[in-house]
Amino acid sequence: MAARRLSLLLSRSASSNLFLRGSPGDTVTISRLTRGAFSYSTSAAIEEPLTPSVKVDYTQLLINGKFVDSASGKTFPTLDPRTGNVIAHVAEGDSEDVDRAVAAARKAFDEGPWPKMTAYVTTLHLRLKDQGYFCALLICLKNIMMKLQHLRLGIMESHMNRLPKLKYQWLCVFFRYYAGWADKIHGLTVPADGEHHVQILHEPFGVAGQIIPWNFPLLMFAWKVAPALACGNTIVLKTAEQTPLSALYAAKLFLEAGLPPGVLNIISGFGPTAGAALSSHMDVDKLAFTGSTDTGKIVLQLAAKSNLKPVTLELGGKSPFIVCEDADVEKAAELAHFALFFNQGQCCCAGSRTFVHERIYDQFLEKAKALAVNRVVGDPFKAGIQQGPQIDTEQFEKILRYIRVGVDSGATLETGGERFGSTGYYVQPTVFSNVQDDMLIAKEEIFGPVQSILKFKDLGDVVRRANTTRYGLAAGVFTQNIDTANTLTRALRAGTVWVNCFDVFDAAIPFGGYKMSGQGREKGIYGLNSYLQVKAVVTPLKNPAWI
């Protein structure tokens, strides 16, 4: 029923002429954005789509519903990875700004309307939809982000490829999914021994601190913000220093849609300053982090040393992609290629160890190499481009270092291995064969377009080797044999195992890591647990009719 009510709401919003129209080649300019009404203009496809003019609307910190400068007045440049040129100067948040943002979030939680919109236990419903947020969010996300963000900030910041699989609808899906949960979060009434009425309440934590990385800025925004809000928390989110713009833009849309001030605060800034201040803040009740395993450890320590706030971590990986003996080699090579090269290899769950059965190894290698050779690298604003630049000079140099290490350690460089072009942070699609388990390129997260191909003999061999890693985020299995699939899916120690597919994400599918790939789960019903705490309320029963 609730789902039906939501879909009614959706269809009503769809018919209220708020949808922006424009073909993918159009530029779309929002000239006015008010609650429930957009006016816009579209122009025909621009002649030279390589350098679309990017108008950056918001560069300040978002605290208590207002865009403000940082307390220090400092700014830092955000760069275009295609050229290294400055896109904009952004306010640089530090501990004083984090204090201000946390105070605003605290007030919004303790005194503001957000967590009080409904009673706990019975219903938490209507929080999103009755206020019109839900409706507006969907409109904003589905239309503006898909079009405008896609053109302006989405690609500019994340350099996602225009792969058919990439869906900006993901953002809408997340908010819709968690808005759908908002009225289904309820506790329990449990029968306990004795004459007592026992209620188990599921309550929001309060102020959630969230730290996100740069590889999928808008998606990470949605993964973090949607469940936290649906559960009634207020938020201080720190964006990655490489990609501060799109979250500010998205948050502004939430304000336009009626989100009360202080509920969602955004701090741009660096890890050791703003990130550390948020992690160690005494008034932050819960912390969620996505990024490297090393930084995850720091964040966990800061949380422990301050107020022991619970922490969820979504960290790095070195995920195996296993191509079994019976696989259709062509399809397997294509999927393995996608599993590694998607988003320039900048994926926590990238299939970065391609294990191939010895009988099909040579054949597979030829296909894998051909795919890499033919991969189209260039400006992601240009049609037909499959691979854009890496995010920044640090990542770019790190990847090239790993490639050199791969060569020095005796792996065979089949193709690539160099920078692509002479400007920007482009790396040639690179394939190594003859990779051995103990080589650095087989052990550490490269986070770039570098495929390492390893040979295996049998299932026992590949299971042991695939699991010999400190990581456990994801794994891929390619086989037509159900028994092989069942054996591998249970034996692989990873939070996600994709069989004959890869990078299939859904708001309902939990995501997170075994071992040093993380703690806790995001998405799905499991993602709610990260933003709720459990309270037992016990009251005596006087002359109960039943117990």
Binding stretches for ligand NAI (CB under 6 A): 211-213, 215, 238, 240-241, 270-272, 275-276, 279, 290-292, 295, 298-299, 315-316, 348, 395, 398, 445, 447
Q: Give me the least distance between CB of 277 and ligand NAI, in Å please.
A: 8
Catalytic residue among 348, 349, 414, 445: 348
| 232-236-240-244 Cα dihedral, nearest 10 degrees | 100
Residue 60 CB, shortest distance to ligand NAI, in Å, is 18
Minimum separation from the CB atom of position 296 to ligand NAI (A): 7
Kindly give the interhelix angle for 2-14 and 169-182, rounded to the nearest 10 degrees: 140
Distance of alpha carbon 211 from alpha carbon 227, whole angstroms: 15
Q: Which is nearer to ligand NAI, 181 or 216 (CB)?
A: 216
Q: What is the DSSP letter of 123?
A: -
- On whether the CB atoms of residues 236 and 108 are closer than 8 A, the answer is no
Cβ closest to ligand NAI, residue 40 vs residue 270: 270
Cβ proximity to ligand NAI: between 75 and 292 the closer is 292
Task: For the CB of residue 474, give the shortest distance to ligand NAI in the complex, in Å.
Answer: 11
Asked if residue 476 lies in contact with residue 496, where contact means CB atoms within 8 angstroms, the answer is no
451 in Cβ contact with 340 (< 8 Å): yes
In angstroms, the Cα distances linking 422 to 52, 84, 376, 402, 419 are 21, 11, 16, 19, 8
Residue whose beta carbon is closest to ligand NAI = 271
* Residue whose CB is less far from ligand NAI, 447 or 531: 447
Toward ligand NAI, which CB reaches closer, 151 or 311? Answer: 311
State the nearest-atom distance from the C-beta of 280 to ligand NAI, in Å.
Answer: 8
Nearer to ligand NAI, 146 or 450 (CB): 450
Phi-psi region for residue 344, left (φ > 0), alpha (ψ -120 to 50) or beta?
Answer: left
Main-chain phi, psi angles of 382, to 5 degrees: -85, 140
CB 250 within 8 A of CB 145: yes
What secondary structure, in 3-state letters, does 347-375 show? CCCCCCEEEEECCCHHHHHHHHHHHHHHC
Nearest to 432 by CA among 458, 456, 459, 405: 405
In angstroms, the CA 474 to CA 106 distance is: 36
Least distance CB 513 / ligand NAI (angstroms) = 9
Query: Does residue 348 carry a catalytic annotation?
Result: yes
* Whether 135 is catalytic: no
Considering 92, 157, 241, 314, which one is annotated as catalytic?
314
Q: Which positions are catalytic? A: 314, 348
